[in-house]
Amino acid sequence: MKILRTRSEVKSALAPYRKEGKTIGLVPTMGALHEGHLSLVEKSKSNSDITISSIYVNPTQFNNPKDLEKYPRPVEKDLKLLEDNGVDFVFLPDDGEMYPSETRLKFDFADLEKVLEGEFRPGHFNGVGIVVSKLFHIIQPDHAYFGQKDLQQVAVIKRLVNDLSFGVEIITVDTMREKDGLAMSSRNIRLDDRDRLVATILYRCLTFAKDELLAGRDWFETKEKVTRRFLDEPKARLEYFELVKADTMEKVTAITTGETFAICTAAFIKEVRLIDNLLIID
Protein backbone atom coordinates (compact mmCIF):
# COMPACT_ATOMS: atom_id res chain seq x y z
CA MET A 1 0.00 0.00 0.00
CA LYS A 2 1.34 3.42 -0.94
CA ILE A 3 0.46 6.68 0.82
CA LEU A 4 -0.14 9.69 -1.44
CA ARG A 5 -0.23 13.19 0.03
CA THR A 6 -0.54 15.52 -2.97
CA ARG A 7 -2.58 15.83 -6.13
CA SER A 8 0.50 15.37 -8.27
CA GLU A 9 1.39 12.14 -6.43
CA VAL A 10 -2.12 10.83 -7.06
CA LYS A 11 -1.94 11.65 -10.74
CA SER A 12 1.47 9.98 -11.17
CA ALA A 13 0.53 6.89 -9.16
CA LEU A 14 -2.74 6.20 -10.97
CA ALA A 15 -1.66 7.08 -14.52
CA PRO A 16 -0.16 3.65 -15.37
CA TYR A 17 -3.34 1.87 -14.31
CA ARG A 18 -5.52 4.21 -16.35
CA LYS A 19 -3.29 3.51 -19.35
CA GLU A 20 -3.89 -0.22 -18.85
CA GLY A 21 -7.65 0.35 -18.71
CA LYS A 22 -7.91 -0.61 -15.04
CA THR A 23 -10.94 0.59 -13.11
CA ILE A 24 -10.35 2.70 -10.01
CA GLY A 25 -12.56 2.54 -6.93
CA LEU A 26 -12.60 5.32 -4.33
CA VAL A 27 -13.55 4.82 -0.69
CA PRO A 28 -13.72 8.32 0.85
CA THR A 29 -13.42 8.45 4.66
CA MET A 30 -12.72 10.86 7.48
CA GLY A 31 -10.73 8.20 9.31
CA ALA A 32 -11.53 6.56 12.69
CA LEU A 33 -12.25 3.47 10.63
CA HIS A 34 -14.52 0.59 11.61
CA GLU A 35 -16.06 -2.47 9.97
CA GLY A 36 -18.49 -0.28 8.07
CA HIS A 37 -15.64 1.42 6.24
CA LEU A 38 -13.97 -1.93 5.64
CA SER A 39 -17.16 -3.23 4.03
CA LEU A 40 -16.80 -0.39 1.50
CA VAL A 41 -13.20 -1.46 0.89
CA GLU A 42 -14.32 -5.05 0.40
CA LYS A 43 -16.98 -3.97 -2.09
CA SER A 44 -14.45 -1.87 -3.99
CA LYS A 45 -11.93 -4.69 -4.15
CA SER A 46 -14.55 -7.04 -5.57
CA ASN A 47 -15.83 -4.50 -8.10
CA SER A 48 -12.83 -2.32 -9.07
CA ASP A 49 -9.32 -3.24 -10.20
CA ILE A 50 -7.58 -0.65 -8.01
CA THR A 51 -8.83 0.62 -4.64
CA ILE A 52 -7.80 3.99 -3.25
CA SER A 53 -9.13 5.24 0.07
CA SER A 54 -8.93 8.82 1.26
CA ILE A 55 -8.55 9.93 4.87
CA TYR A 56 -9.41 13.57 5.40
CA VAL A 57 -11.38 15.26 8.17
CA ASN A 58 -13.07 17.94 6.10
CA PRO A 59 -13.52 21.15 8.12
CA THR A 60 -16.07 22.73 5.78
CA GLN A 61 -18.77 20.18 6.57
CA PHE A 62 -18.72 20.78 10.34
CA ASN A 63 -21.15 23.45 11.47
CA ASN A 64 -20.06 22.88 15.09
CA PRO A 65 -16.39 23.74 15.76
CA LYS A 66 -16.37 21.62 18.94
CA ASP A 67 -17.52 18.59 16.94
CA LEU A 68 -14.62 19.10 14.53
CA GLU A 69 -12.19 19.49 17.41
CA LYS A 70 -13.35 16.27 19.07
CA TYR A 71 -13.49 14.18 15.91
CA PRO A 72 -11.18 11.15 16.43
CA ARG A 73 -8.00 10.96 14.32
CA PRO A 74 -6.23 7.60 14.90
CA VAL A 75 -4.31 7.86 11.61
CA GLU A 76 -1.68 5.17 12.21
CA LYS A 77 -4.33 2.65 13.26
CA ASP A 78 -6.41 3.56 10.19
CA LEU A 79 -3.49 3.07 7.83
CA LYS A 80 -2.77 -0.35 9.33
CA LEU A 81 -6.41 -1.39 8.86
CA LEU A 82 -6.43 -0.27 5.23
CA GLU A 83 -3.17 -2.05 4.49
CA ASP A 84 -4.37 -5.25 6.17
CA ASN A 85 -7.53 -5.13 4.07
CA GLY A 86 -5.74 -4.84 0.75
CA VAL A 87 -6.12 -1.18 -0.16
CA ASP A 88 -3.70 -0.21 -2.94
CA PHE A 89 -3.36 3.52 -2.24
CA VAL A 90 -4.32 5.97 0.50
CA PHE A 91 -4.78 9.66 -0.27
CA LEU A 92 -3.82 11.45 2.95
CA PRO A 93 -3.81 15.20 2.23
CA ASP A 94 -3.52 18.06 4.69
CA ASP A 95 -5.71 21.17 4.76
CA GLY A 96 -3.26 23.12 2.62
CA GLU A 97 -3.47 20.52 -0.13
CA MET A 98 -7.26 20.33 -0.12
CA TYR A 99 -7.88 24.05 0.42
CA PRO A 100 -4.90 25.99 -0.99
CA SER A 101 -7.16 29.05 -1.00
CA GLU A 102 -10.52 29.93 0.49
CA THR A 103 -13.40 28.27 -1.32
CA ARG A 104 -16.06 30.81 -2.26
CA LEU A 105 -18.22 28.47 -4.31
CA LYS A 106 -21.55 27.55 -2.72
CA PHE A 107 -23.63 24.52 -3.62
CA ASP A 108 -27.41 24.63 -3.43
CA PHE A 109 -28.97 21.18 -3.32
CA ALA A 110 -32.47 22.67 -3.14
CA ASP A 111 -35.00 20.43 -1.37
CA LEU A 112 -32.37 17.85 -0.42
CA GLU A 113 -30.63 20.19 2.02
CA LYS A 114 -33.71 21.72 3.62
CA VAL A 115 -34.75 18.65 5.63
CA LEU A 116 -33.23 16.27 8.18
CA GLU A 117 -29.45 16.79 8.31
CA GLY A 118 -29.69 19.89 6.15
CA GLU A 119 -32.22 21.49 8.48
CA PHE A 120 -30.25 20.81 11.65
CA ARG A 121 -26.72 21.23 10.22
CA PRO A 122 -26.85 24.32 7.99
CA GLY A 123 -23.98 24.42 5.52
CA HIS A 124 -23.12 20.76 6.07
CA PHE A 125 -23.98 19.55 2.57
CA ASN A 126 -22.24 22.50 0.94
CA GLY A 127 -19.07 21.28 2.66
CA VAL A 128 -19.76 17.70 1.58
CA GLY A 129 -20.33 18.79 -2.01
CA ILE A 130 -17.10 20.79 -2.10
CA VAL A 131 -14.84 18.08 -0.67
CA VAL A 132 -16.40 15.27 -2.70
CA SER A 133 -16.06 17.33 -5.88
CA LYS A 134 -12.39 17.91 -5.05
CA LEU A 135 -11.81 14.19 -4.45
CA PHE A 136 -13.55 13.26 -7.70
CA HIS A 137 -11.45 15.78 -9.65
CA ILE A 138 -8.18 14.73 -8.00
CA ILE A 139 -8.66 10.95 -8.12
CA GLN A 140 -11.06 10.61 -11.10
CA PRO A 141 -12.47 7.28 -9.92
CA ASP A 142 -14.68 5.01 -11.99
CA HIS A 143 -16.62 3.99 -8.88
CA ALA A 144 -17.09 5.60 -5.46
CA TYR A 145 -18.43 3.72 -2.45
CA PHE A 146 -20.60 5.18 0.30
CA GLY A 147 -22.50 3.68 3.23
CA GLN A 148 -26.29 3.63 3.51
CA LYS A 149 -26.06 4.98 7.08
CA ASP A 150 -25.48 8.41 5.51
CA LEU A 151 -28.52 8.03 3.28
CA GLN A 152 -29.14 11.74 2.75
CA GLN A 153 -25.47 12.30 1.93
CA VAL A 154 -25.71 9.58 -0.71
CA ALA A 155 -28.73 11.33 -2.25
CA VAL A 156 -26.83 14.64 -2.28
CA ILE A 157 -23.77 13.08 -3.91
CA LYS A 158 -25.90 11.34 -6.55
CA ARG A 159 -27.46 14.70 -7.41
CA LEU A 160 -23.99 16.26 -7.56
CA VAL A 161 -22.77 13.55 -9.94
CA ASN A 162 -25.86 13.78 -12.13
CA ASP A 163 -26.06 17.57 -12.34
CA LEU A 164 -22.32 18.10 -12.93
CA SER A 165 -21.85 15.03 -15.18
CA PHE A 166 -19.08 13.44 -13.14
CA GLY A 167 -17.95 10.21 -14.80
CA VAL A 168 -18.23 8.15 -11.64
CA GLU A 169 -20.71 5.48 -10.57
CA ILE A 170 -21.95 5.84 -6.99
CA ILE A 171 -22.32 2.50 -5.24
CA THR A 172 -24.19 2.32 -1.92
CA VAL A 173 -23.27 -0.36 0.60
CA ASP A 174 -25.61 -1.58 3.36
CA THR A 175 -25.19 -0.21 6.88
CA MET A 176 -22.96 -2.33 9.09
CA ARG A 177 -24.31 -2.87 12.60
CA GLU A 178 -23.11 -4.15 15.95
CA LYS A 179 -24.77 -7.30 17.31
CA ASP A 180 -27.28 -5.18 19.24
CA GLY A 181 -28.20 -3.21 16.11
CA LEU A 182 -26.30 0.01 16.73
CA ALA A 183 -25.06 1.39 13.41
CA MET A 184 -21.27 1.44 13.24
CA SER A 185 -19.99 4.99 13.39
CA SER A 186 -16.70 6.73 14.10
CA ARG A 187 -18.54 8.69 16.79
CA ASN A 188 -19.38 5.54 18.77
CA ILE A 189 -15.91 5.48 20.30
CA ARG A 190 -16.80 8.67 22.17
CA LEU A 191 -19.50 6.78 24.12
CA ASP A 192 -18.70 5.19 27.48
CA ASP A 193 -20.11 1.73 28.26
CA ARG A 194 -23.38 3.01 29.77
CA ASP A 195 -24.01 5.53 27.01
CA ARG A 196 -23.18 2.87 24.44
CA LEU A 197 -26.10 0.80 25.74
CA VAL A 198 -28.39 3.83 25.69
CA ALA A 199 -27.45 4.47 22.05
CA THR A 200 -29.29 1.32 20.95
CA ILE A 201 -32.51 3.32 21.39
CA LEU A 202 -32.06 4.61 17.82
CA TYR A 203 -32.16 1.17 16.23
CA ARG A 204 -34.86 -0.10 18.58
CA CYS A 205 -37.13 2.80 17.67
CA LEU A 206 -36.40 2.42 13.95
CA THR A 207 -37.30 -1.27 13.94
CA PHE A 208 -40.40 -0.60 16.05
CA ALA A 209 -41.59 2.11 13.65
CA LYS A 210 -40.88 -0.02 10.58
CA ASP A 211 -42.89 -2.92 12.02
CA GLU A 212 -45.75 -0.59 12.89
CA LEU A 213 -45.89 0.88 9.39
CA LEU A 214 -45.76 -2.51 7.71
CA ALA A 215 -48.62 -3.58 9.96
CA GLY A 216 -50.68 -0.65 8.69
CA ARG A 217 -50.39 1.61 11.72
CA ASP A 218 -50.70 5.40 11.46
CA TRP A 219 -47.39 7.25 11.08
CA PHE A 220 -48.24 10.11 13.45
CA GLU A 221 -49.28 7.73 16.22
CA THR A 222 -46.12 5.71 15.66
CA LYS A 223 -43.93 8.81 15.77
CA GLU A 224 -45.62 9.93 19.00
CA LYS A 225 -44.83 6.59 20.63
CA VAL A 226 -41.19 6.91 19.58
CA THR A 227 -41.02 10.45 20.97
CA ARG A 228 -42.33 9.21 24.33
CA ARG A 229 -39.67 6.49 24.39
CA PHE A 230 -36.96 9.11 24.02
CA LEU A 231 -38.55 11.30 26.69
CA ASP A 232 -38.34 8.34 29.06
CA GLU A 233 -34.59 8.02 28.48
CA PRO A 234 -32.82 10.94 30.21
CA LYS A 235 -29.48 10.39 28.44
CA ALA A 236 -31.03 10.53 24.97
CA ARG A 237 -32.40 13.59 23.17
CA LEU A 238 -34.27 13.09 19.91
CA GLU A 239 -33.53 15.64 17.19
CA TYR A 240 -35.69 14.22 14.40
CA PHE A 241 -37.54 11.05 13.45
CA GLU A 242 -39.06 11.20 9.96
CA LEU A 243 -40.52 9.02 7.23
CA VAL A 244 -39.19 10.00 3.79
CA LYS A 245 -38.91 8.84 0.21
CA ALA A 246 -35.49 7.21 0.06
CA ASP A 247 -34.30 8.85 -3.15
CA THR A 248 -35.50 12.44 -2.61
CA MET A 249 -35.71 12.72 1.21
CA GLU A 250 -39.22 14.16 0.79
CA LYS A 251 -41.15 13.81 4.06
CA VAL A 252 -44.28 11.65 3.80
CA THR A 253 -46.91 10.38 6.21
CA ALA A 254 -47.52 6.90 4.80
CA ILE A 255 -45.87 4.21 2.71
CA THR A 256 -47.25 3.12 -0.65
CA THR A 257 -46.60 0.16 -2.89
CA GLY A 258 -43.89 0.38 -5.53
CA GLU A 259 -41.58 2.92 -3.87
CA THR A 260 -38.71 2.72 -1.41
CA PHE A 261 -39.08 4.68 1.80
CA ALA A 262 -36.81 5.24 4.76
CA ILE A 263 -37.24 6.12 8.40
CA CYS A 264 -34.42 8.51 9.32
CA THR A 265 -33.39 9.67 12.77
CA ALA A 266 -30.81 11.73 14.61
CA ALA A 267 -30.36 11.89 18.36
CA PHE A 268 -27.89 13.01 20.99
CA ILE A 269 -26.62 10.49 23.50
CA LYS A 270 -25.43 13.05 26.03
CA GLU A 271 -23.21 15.25 23.78
CA VAL A 272 -22.57 12.68 21.02
CA ARG A 273 -24.80 13.07 17.97
CA LEU A 274 -25.71 9.87 16.09
CA ILE A 275 -27.74 9.25 12.93
CA ASP A 276 -29.35 6.12 11.51
CA ASN A 277 -32.03 4.98 9.09
CA LEU A 278 -33.93 1.91 7.92
CA LEU A 279 -35.25 1.32 4.43
CA ILE A 280 -38.82 0.18 3.84
CA ILE A 281 -39.67 -1.55 0.60
CA ASP A 282 -43.38 -2.34 0.63
Is 48 annotated in a binding site? The answer is no
Q: What angle do CA 198, 199, 203 make, to 5 degrees?
A: 120
Which candidate in 37, 124, 137, 143 is catalytic? 37
Is 147 annotated in a binding site? The answer is yes
Instruction: Tell me, yes or no, if 37 is annotated catalytic.
Output: yes
**Nearest C-alpha neighbor of 281 from the set 174, 158, 145, 147:** 174
Q: How far apart are CA 101 and CA 139, in angstroms?
A: 20
Is 185 annotated in a binding site? The answer is yes
**Backbone torsions φ then ψ of 100, nearest 5 degrees:** -65, -20
Residues 255 and 279 sit within 8 Å (Cβ to Cβ): no
Is 176 annotated in a binding site? The answer is no
Is 186 annotated in a binding site? The answer is yes
Is 148 annotated in a binding site? The answer is yes
Is residue 178 exposed (0-12), middle (13-18) or buried (19+ Cβ within 10 Å)?
A: middle
Is 153 annotated in a binding site? The answer is yes
Is 31 annotated in a binding site? The answer is yes
Catalytic site residues? 37
Binding-site positions for ATP read 30-37, 147-150, 184-187
Query: Which segments are annotated as binding site for beta-alanine?
Result: 61
Query: What residues are designated binding site?
Result: 30-37, 61, 147-150, 153, 184-187
**Binding-site entries for (R)-pantoate:** 61, 153
